[in-house]
Structures are given as structure tokens and as C-alpha cells.
Structure 1
Amino acid sequence: MARREIIVLQDDLDGSEKDVRVVKFGFEGVNYEIDLGPANFDKLAQVLAPYVAVARKDPSSRRTAGPAVKTKGLSAAEQRAKNQRVRDWAKSQKMKVSERGRVPAKLSEAYHAAGLR
């Protein structure tokens, strides 16, 4: 028996589903996650900007992964959203695609060949 699981992220504030991402932040020693679309992410970033500008990074929260790689002029968030669109399209075309990791070049090429961006 096959099982198909679909995860749809919704903005926790307005319920929108377009380009929603998980945002992690901490305050008073507690870590939080919230799902936000572009408009609400921008609002949060704008409110936090003056505090982040003068804050120090917590040395214990350093990432172990290497530096973020900017792909073809896209921010990391834009690249994740694009990868998700490619994955969704591939699944709709009955193609095999992993839920995580790198999107194979052949898959990306097929997506673009279909006239999608």
C-alpha cells in the first residue's frame, strides 16, 4: 500500500499559504518557531531590525554548517521556495523526488523546459 503525505505550511497569523517559511527566533532563553508568509515575515523583520542591529550574536548558537550559498542571485529563502515548487511540480508529474536535500539538475531542467519558473 502506498502512502502519500502532503505538508502545507500556512501563515500562523493570516492563514495564507504562498511562500510560507518557518521562522525560528529566541527570546528570554526560549526558542520559538512560527510559520510566516512574505508580508508577515517582512513585518517581523522590520520590528526586530533596530534590536538586531545593536545585538550581539550568542556564541553558543553558532551553526555547524558552512556558510549559506547564494544560488543564481536568489536568497536562501527564495531558493528553498523555488526548490519546493520544483518538488511539487515533479510529484504532480509522477516523478520521484526526495523531500529534502539537493534538487537534481535534470529535475530542475525539466521544470524549466515545461515553461515554469
Structure 2
Amino acid sequence: MARREIVVLADDLDGSEGDVRSVKFGFEGNSYEIDLGPANHDKLALALAPFVAAARKESSRRGPAVAAKAKAPTAAEQRAFNQRVREWAKGQGEEVNDRGRVPAKLIEKYFAAGLR
């Protein structure tokens, strides 16, 4: 008899399924892992970006037991997020440039609209 198991990954915050990935990060000596879809991953990355940018990397002398750091979004991830915000904003009648920085007010409205 054959046995088939199906594992479905779901976003730990909103329960959405699909393109979900595990994110590991550390804070105050504790290690955490959370499964996030693209919208919540973008939200976490944007929230942590100023702290990651200002932080110092910890020496790897302690080996693999060092708590994993949350990473800032890659350029490709940031472009994809900005494109989603631009498309949403244009659909809402907002004026937004096709290139360059997306205004923080538009990003706040995007999140306030429940697009996580």
C-alpha cells in the first residue's frame, strides 16, 4: 500500500497559503522562525530594514549556534514589493511614479488596506 503525505505551508500571521517561506531571525539572544507569505515577508523586511542597516554584524566565532539575523530585502524583492504597491495605488487613483522611491504614505495606505 502506498502512502502519500501532503504538506501545506501557511503564513503564521494570516493563514494564507502559497508562496510561503520560513524566516529565521534573532532578538535579544533568542532565535525565532516564522513562516511568511510575500506580503508579510515584505512587511517584516521593511520594518527591520532601518535596524539592520544601522546594526553591526556579529562575529561568527561562536559558530552555527549564533542566532540567525533577519535579512533586509534583496533588490529584486524590494522592486517586486514596490511594483505591487504602485499597481495597487494606481488602482486607487493615487498618483505614483513608475520609477524611484515609493512614498511612505502610499506604503502605509497599502498596509492599512489589509494588503499584507
Query: Deviation at 1:51?
Result: 0.2
Q: Distance in 1 between matches of 2:3 and 2:26?
A: 36
> What residue in structure 2 maps to residue 10 of structure 1?
10
Give deviations 1:12-63, integer Å, cap 9, x for gaps. 1110012000000000111000000000000000100000001112222777
> Following superposition, which runs of at least 4 residues in structure 1 exceed 6 angstroms of deviation?
none
| TM-score using structure 2 length | 0.50
Secondary structure, aligned partner of 2:33? strand
> What residue in structure 1 maps to residue 36 of structure 2?
36
> What residue in structure 2 maps to residue 24 of structure 1?
24
Structure 1: unaligned runs, 5 residues or longer:
64-73, 76-117
Percent identity between the two aligned chains = 72
Cα 1:53–1:62 change in 2 (3 A) is: farther
Pairs aligned (count):
65
Q: Distance in 2 between matches of 1:39 and 1:57?
A: 26
Q: Distance in 1 between matches of 2:63 and 2:20?
A: 25
Q: CA RMSD in A?
A: 2.1
Any residues of structure 2 matched to 1:1-117 within 5 Å, and which? Answer: 1-60=1-60
- Larger RCO (CA within 8 A; separation ≥ 6): 2
Q: Distance in 1 between matches of 2:19 and 2:7?
A: 13
